[in-house]
Structures are given as C-alpha cells and as structure tokens.
Structure 1
C-alpha cells in the first residue's frame, strides 16, 4: 500500500462529515495531531440536522447498518461506542408495501423472515430465501477484507484469492438475474435488489457483488440512534475532541498553500493552518477545485440519481407505517430507466418513508410526529437543472402529497404543520456534483480500483475520503473511507477485527444475530 511520504505529524482534515470524523479518530489513534475544519456550525456534513418548530429533522441518511464500523472509530481512541451512543435495532428493518395492496415486513432474524415469506409468498420461496441468505453471507465474506476495506494502488490489487471466490459466487454477473435464481416472486426480488439504487445503478445492470448492500440491510441489521441519526456525528466529534483534536466549526476553506507537490497550509476565511498532510472530504468537484487539478480519466464521471426529500412535521401519524417503509409503485424497470437514462421524473414513484418518531418520540414536540419522504429523481446532468428545480420543487412536492394520499395516507397534507423541502437545487448549492448527495455511481468503470483514487497525482501529501472515492457510497463505506485515508498517512490499518469474527455489534441488546 502506497503511503504519504515525509512528515505527517500534523494533519488537517477538511470536512466534519462521517468520513472526516472517521479519519480524524483513526489518525488520533495513530498518534497524529489533527485539526478538523468544517464550514457548518455543527458536525455531520450530509448527516446534518435542521431544527424547526420543535422538530429535529435529520437531513442526511436515515438507515444505519454495520455499527461495528462506528465501534472501530471509537476504539481507535480507546473509547467504546456505548460511552457516547445508544443504538436500537429496528424490528422490522423495513416494511415493504406494494401497488397490489400486499405488504411484507423485512426481518433480519432468519426464522422471523422465513415465517413472513411463507405468509407472503408460500413455502417454495422460503427455501429460495434460505439459499439467498447463505449466498449473501458468502458474498459479504468474500468482499469485506480484500475489496470493500482495501486501499487499491492499481487494478492489479484485485489479483488475490478472494477474486476467484467472488467470481465463483457470481459476483461479476448481474444483480437482478442472480437474485432471481433464488426467489421467483417479483415483489421479493425488489426487496433484495432495490439497494442497487444506492449505488446509482439499476438492478438489471448492477454487478451482483452489490447484493452486499442487501446483506447489510436484510441480514446484518438496521439500527437507529437515540436522538436521531445526527447523534452519530455528534458522538464521533465529542470523542475526537476528548482525544485532543482541534475542531474548527463555521470556517470555510478558501485555498491550499503548496510548495512543489506538498500542501504546506490550509487557509480558511479566518486563519492559516500550517500542516504536514491533508485529508479532503468534500465532494469531488470541491476537492479538485481546492487542489487545482482534476485527474485525467478516459471517460467522464457518471453520477448517481439524486433525490427530493420532504421533511414533514405532522400532528398525526399512520399505524401502517413502520420506522422505514418502502412504498413501491407498480412500475420497476421503467422507474430505473427514467432515473438513469431518460432523465424524467418517476411516472410511478417508489418512495422511502421514514418515521423516526416511531422509535424516538423526543424528536418532535409532544403529540407530534416526523415523516421523511424520499423520492429518487434524476441528477442534474441528465434531468432538470438546478435552476429548474427552484420552481419545479414546490409542484413536485404537491404531486408527492397527492401520491401519498392515493396510497392510503389519508390526510397527510393537512396534517403537516412544519416542513423542509430539499431538491437537487439544494444539493447543488451545497457543492454536490450533478446535484446529487449520492456522488459518483458504482458503474463497472467507477468501482474498486477504477473509482477515483484517494491519492491524487501532483499532491504528494493529500488524501481524499468520502463517498466519491474508495470504497463508495453509504454510511458503512464512508466510515471505511475515513479509515483508509488515515491508513494512507499512517501506514497502519487501524482497528480491525480478525477475519471471520462476528461484528462487535452482535452483542448489542436485542440484536437478532
């Protein structure tokens, strides 16, 4: 593994999102002095928070999986997660509702899921699910050490024994056909393939290897932190402060000073910070702007679809909603074609509806509720522009409310007392390429060693972290990216559990594993 040359005593980390906080803790654990610079007044980055009329809206990810990666961040500085953060496993992990009126609770406990599938689709599909679950576990084991949690110096880094194992498992085939070998019910197939949208690729075209996301969601378990998702970066930043990091909030980085290929100082709108190395976690366009260069690639980067998010504070709720509910439209292939090819809004939308107050009522005023409605949409490269979204956004919000009413959430619009609407225009204003918070898509030319590297030519002491670089999009992978960035500086892998050992999170109270 290539590492940063020269002194690395003092590292400046730009961005206090999950990647930056992970990098900070792993750097501190390796004995480095760290200054963390964040333009916002609070940590979190994409995992931010907006407080409105007594409601605490989490503005970023709502699904938390693989909590052992958080535990590794705390362990890097000699702390345990339970010192700072309390997680509750969600049962069910999801509720799936379909256009034909059927409904399926997705359980991570194998027995509970088998019983639910038998009720939903019959005993034959239970047998297929059992084989699918074993395959998902094997796929995860084949990928986690040598692919997901690895720094790549070249495509030749792929040549290891796990590559043959992954190929034998069918990881280089297509996701939808591979899952269809196990289960034939089209509704069930959706439950185990929709996750490829996180990677920015339709299930029919995504590598089967990305079923590892379904493993995280449907086998390893889904959790929710007490105090909401923003409690995660809050806890990580507190641990960093306790371990000696200098945390600078409300400061924007204006430029990087350099001598030759080395960055010698980070200049903010308030001060100049001399440094020995830098970790950049902003989205790739911002990181490359600061570096003054963009790596040459044979093909232009393709971005994932974006999303419209309606954060609604309501005076009532609907008992048919679980903590996480996926409301599938009748269309499926057409939906992905619209999101990734034609650039049009979903004509028959599939929606993620999250109700965090189902688990933590303190996030809303007494008697109130929070509903988070996420509607995938095309990014601004192929769909409506950021400028167009400024007028389109309110109209699309109204159409979403009509759709929710049509799907049985009667009175949803009238129940809203306060709200925050986020569209691709807002993501673009925040510096996210193509107006999407999901960054660069996981197409084959943008996966593994072909993804934008976390080392940048021409900047000898700069490392990238975040969802645009290795290993990719999602809370677990972003946390890993911070550790991988720290390893590029320290030469140390960080806190790692032995291969095959159960994640420490299996000891959490109520965990079905």
Structure 2
C-alpha cells in the first residue's frame, strides 16, 4: 500500500462529515495532531441537522447499518460508540408496501423473515429466501476485505483468489437475474434489488456484486440512533475533541500553500493559515479538485447517481400503516429506473422511502407532533431538469408528491403539515454537489474499486481524499471505511490499535438486531 512519505505529525482534515470524523479519530489514535476545518457551524456534513419550528430534522441519511464500523473509529481513541450514542434495533427494518395493496415486513432475523415470506408468498419463496440469505452472507465475505475495505494502488490488486470466489458466486452477473434465481415473486425481488439505486444503477444493469448493499439492509441489521442520525456525527465529534482534535467551525478552506510537491498549509476564508504535514480533503470532489487546482485524469467524464427530492414534514398526526422506514413501491419498475438513469424524466409512478423517526424518539417533534421524511428519487441535473428549472418545478412536484401520498393511504397528509422543508436538486447544487446529486459518483464498473477516483492525488504527495466520491463509495458504512482508509494512507495502517486488530482478523459478519433498546455493537 502506498502511503504519504515524509513527516505526517500534523494533519488537517477538511470536512467534519462522517468520513472526516472517522479519519480524524483514526489519526488521533495513531498519535497525530489533528485539526478539523468545517465550513458549517457543527459536525455532520450530509448528516446534518435543521430545526423547523420545534422539529429536529436530519438532513441526510436516515438508515444506519453496520454500526461496528463507527465503533471502530471510537475504539481508535479508546472510546466506544455505546458511550456516545444509544442505538435502537429496528423491528421490522422496513415495511414494504406495494401498488396491489399488499405489504411485507422486512426482518433482519432469518427465522422471522422466513416466516414473513412464507405468509406473503408461500413456501417456495420462503425456501428461496433462505438460499438468498446464505448467498448474501457469502457474497459479503468474498467482497468486504478484498474489494471494499482496501486501498487500491493498481487494478492488478483485483487478481486474487477472492476474485475467483466472487465470480463463482455470480457476482459479475446482473443483479435482478441473480435475485430471480432465488425468488419468484416480483414484489420480493424488488425488496432485495432496489438497493442498486444507492449505487446509482438500475437492478437490470447493476452487477450482482452490489447485492452486498442488500446484505447490509436485510441481513446485518438496521438501527436508529436516539436523537436522530445526527447523533452519530455529533458523538464522533465529541470523542475526537476529547482525544485532542482542534475543530475550526464556520471555517471554509479557500486555498492551499504548496511547495516541492507537498501542501504546506491550508488557508481559510478568515485569512488564517494552518500549517500541515499531511492533508485530508473530504469535501465534494469538485471542491477538492478546485482547491488542488487540478482535475482528475480519466479517459471519460465521471457519471453521477440519480438525485432525490426530499420533503421534511412536521405533522400533527401520523398513520398506523407506517413503520419507522416504509418503502412505498409504485406499480412501475423497469420504466422507473429508465426514467431516473436514462431518459432524465421524473418518475411517472414513483417508489418512495418514508421515514418516521418519531416512531422511536418523540423528542424530535413538539408534543403531539410527528416527523416524516419522504424521499423521491429523481434524475440528476446532468440528464434531467436543470437546477434552475427546479426553482419553479419544486413546489409543483411537492404538491404532486403529497397527492400521491394521500392516494397511497396517507389521507389528510396535506392538512396535517405544520412545518416543512423541501429539498430539490437546486439545493443540492447550491451545496456543491456535482450534477445536483447528494449520492455522488455512481458505481458503474468503470467507477468502482481501483477504477473509482483514488484517494491519493497524483502530483501532490501528502494529500489524501475521503468521502463518498472516492474509495470505496456511497453510503454510511462505506464513508466510514473511507475515512479509515484515508488515515491508513498517512499512518501506514499500523498506528492505532483498531487498525492493527483489523488487519489481523477476518471480516466480521455483523449479527442482526435481536431486540430493541440500547445496543453496543463493539
């Protein structure tokens, strides 16, 4: 593994999102002096927090899986996730509701899910589910350490026996076909293949290897942090501060001082200069490359994932058919993905994610209030409506979205809303997200593993990238890994106890949640 040469005692991390915080904790555990520069007033990045008239709104991800990865970052400084964040195991992990009026509770416990599949689709698919679950676990084992949790210096690193194991598992086939080998009911297939959208791909075109995301969602367990998802980055920032990190809030990095192939200092908008021996950039790729004064060397332009419209709604009522996370599928499927990824049209029959965090934490809303987060995927601005078009399109789309929710059983939704915030590609663009997408670079084969923008920067020997635009990719688990991989580039992966232990052990298979309440995933 290539590492940053020369002195690395003083490290500046630009960005206090999940990847930057994970990186800072691992660097601190390895004895580095760390300064974290963040343009916002507090931690979180994408996993931020907004207050809407007494409602505490998570602005980013709402689903937490693989919490042991967060615990590794806390452990690097002798701390633990459980000391800072109370986790609730979700049962069910999701509720899937279909256009034909049927519904399915998605359990991460194998026996409970087999019984639910048997009730929903019959004994043949119940047996198929057990085969699928076994395949997902083997797929995870084959991929995690070799292809996800690794720093790539060359595509030749793929030439390993694990590549043959992945091929033998069908990882290079198409996702929807592989899922179809186990399940005949098309509704069940959706539950285990929609996750391809997280990678920016349609299930019909995504590699079966991306079913590892379904493993995280449907086997490894889904948790909710009390206080909302923002409690995780807040806890990480508190742990890093306690371990000696110097946080500079409301401080934007505007320039870099370079000499002899190294960055020597970071300049802030305030005029302050922060000297450094190494630099970690966790900001959006366009921002990172602008600071570096360069563009990535790639034969073709980067392709970005679809975007999303999010409606945060504080209401005076809720609906008993909703779980903590509810997947509301439209009747259309293949056409929907074609609209999102090819034709650039808004979904004609949308599939939606509805999250109700007040299911497990009523303190996020005023007394008697409920908080609903509605996510509708939409095309990014490179193939769909431009950011400027969304200025007028957004309010109209909001009204059609609310009408669709009411048609799907949430009667009275419009009248129940007391506070709301609509987020569209216009807002994502204003935040610096390329193509107006918060999901960054898509996971096509040419943008995955060693072909994704690497976390070492050509021509600058002491700069490392972290975040969803680089290795290994998009999602809470992967950006936590990204932060650790960036730290490994600086410390050679041997500085902190957590890094040494990780190198000496095989990839764990996280256990599914077995109860509600506080959970220590360490």
TM-score by length of 2: 0.97
* 2:267 alignment counterpart: 267
Residues in 2 aligned to 1:368 and 1:506: alpha-carbon distance in whole angstroms: 28
* 1:215 alignment counterpart: 215
Secondary structure (helix, strand or coil) at the match of 1:62 reads: coil
- CA deviations 1:287-308 (Å, max 9, x no partner) are 1101000121111100000000
1:499 and 2:506 correspond: yes
Count of paired positions: 513
Are residues 217 and 423 of structure 1, via their aligned partners in 2, closer, same or farther at CA, if it must alter by over 3 Å?
same
* 1:308 alignment counterpart: 309
- CA deviations 1:428-454 (Å, max 9, x no partner) are 100011000000000010010000000
Are residues 436 and 192 of structure 1, via their aligned partners in 2, closer, same or farther at CA, if it must alter by over 3 Å?
same
Residues in 2 aligned to 1:455 and 1:75: alpha-carbon distance in whole angstroms: 25
Residues in 1 aligned to 2:258 and 2:395: alpha-carbon distance in whole angstroms: 45
Secondary structure (helix, strand or coil) at the match of 1:244 reads: coil
* 1:116 alignment counterpart: 116
* 1:125 alignment counterpart: 125
Residues in 2 aligned to 1:296 and 1:68: alpha-carbon distance in whole angstroms: 35
Residues in 1 aligned to 2:493 and 2:449: alpha-carbon distance in whole angstroms: 20
* 1:434 alignment counterpart: 435
* 2:24 alignment counterpart: 24
Are residues 216 and 124 of structure 1, via their aligned partners in 2, closer, same or farther at CA, if it must alter by over 3 Å?
same
- CA deviations 1:318-341 (Å, max 9, x no partner) are 000000000000000000000000
Contact 2:89–2:513 (CA under 8 A) maintained in structure 1: no
Residues in 1 aligned to 2:219 and 2:511: alpha-carbon distance in whole angstroms: 15
User: Superposition RMSD on alpha carbons, in Å?
Assistant: 1.4
Residues in 2 aligned to 1:512 and 1:193: alpha-carbon distance in whole angstroms: 29
* 2:100 alignment counterpart: 100
* 1:162 alignment counterpart: 162
Are residues 426 and 244 of structure 1, via their aligned partners in 2, closer, same or farther at CA, if it must alter by over 3 Å?
same
Q: How does 1:279-290 map to 2 (within 5 A)?
A: 279-290=280-291
Secondary structure (helix, strand or coil) at the match of 1:195 reads: helix
253-262 or 396-405, which deviates more = 253-262
Residues in 2 aligned to 1:126 and 1:512: alpha-carbon distance in whole angstroms: 31
Are residues 326 and 401 of structure 1, via their aligned partners in 2, closer, same or farther at CA, if it must alter by over 3 Å?
same
Contact 1:71–1:504 (CA under 8 A) maintained in structure 2: no
* 2:198 alignment counterpart: 198
1:486 and 2:487 correspond: yes
Deviation at 1:82, TM superposition (A): 1.2
* 2:67 alignment counterpart: 67
Deviation at 1:504, TM superposition (A): 8.2
Secondary structure (helix, strand or coil) at the match of 2:266 reads: strand
Contact 2:220–2:509 (CA under 8 A) maintained in structure 1: no
Residues in 1 aligned to 2:167 and 2:513: alpha-carbon distance in whole angstroms: 29
- CA deviations 1:131-178 (Å, max 9, x no partner) are 000000000000111111000001001111211111110111110000
* 1:374 alignment counterpart: 375
Secondary structure (helix, strand or coil) at the match of 1:172 reads: coil
Residues in 1 aligned to 2:512 and 2:43: alpha-carbon distance in whole angstroms: 24
Residues in 1 aligned to 2:435 and 2:246: alpha-carbon distance in whole angstroms: 32
1:80 and 2:98 correspond: no
Deviation at 1:500, TM superposition (A): 4.9
Residues in 2 aligned to 1:507 and 1:204: alpha-carbon distance in whole angstroms: 33
- Unaligned 5+ runs, structure 2: none
Q: How does 1:421-500 map to 2 (within 5 A)?
A: 421-492=422-493, 495=498, 496-497=501-502, 498-500=505-507
Residues in 1 aligned to 2:416 and 2:340: alpha-carbon distance in whole angstroms: 30
Contact 1:306–1:436 (CA under 8 A) maintained in structure 2: yes
* 1:152 alignment counterpart: 152
Deviation at 1:260, TM superposition (A): 2.8
Deviation at 1:267, TM superposition (A): 0.5
- CA deviations 1:180-206 (Å, max 9, x no partner) are 000011000000000000000000000
310-319 or 486-495, which deviates more = 486-495
487-496 or 446-455, which deviates more = 487-496
* 1:175 alignment counterpart: 175
Residues in 1 aligned to 2:52 and 2:114: alpha-carbon distance in whole angstroms: 41
Deviation at 1:502, TM superposition (A): 4.5
Residues in 2 aligned to 1:261 and 1:342: alpha-carbon distance in whole angstroms: 44
Q: Which runs of 4+ in 1 moved over 6 A?
A: 504-513
* 1:42 alignment counterpart: 42
Residues in 1 aligned to 2:261 and 2:311: alpha-carbon distance in whole angstroms: 44
- CA deviations 1:63-89 (Å, max 9, x no partner) are 000000011010000001111111011
Are residues 329 and 45 of structure 1, via their aligned partners in 2, closer, same or farther at CA, if it must alter by over 3 Å?
same
Secondary structure (helix, strand or coil) at the match of 1:228 reads: coil
- Unaligned 5+ runs, structure 1: none
Secondary structure (helix, strand or coil) at the match of 1:247 reads: strand
Secondary structure (helix, strand or coil) at the match of 1:204 reads: coil
Are residues 475 and 454 of structure 1, via their aligned partners in 2, closer, same or farther at CA, if it must alter by over 3 Å?
same
- CA deviations 1:266-300 (Å, max 9, x no partner) are 00112110100100001111111010001211111
Residues in 1 aligned to 2:251 and 2:105: alpha-carbon distance in whole angstroms: 44
Secondary structure (helix, strand or coil) at the match of 2:388 reads: helix
Residues in 1 aligned to 2:384 and 2:150: alpha-carbon distance in whole angstroms: 34
Contact 1:66–1:505 (CA under 8 A) maintained in structure 2: no
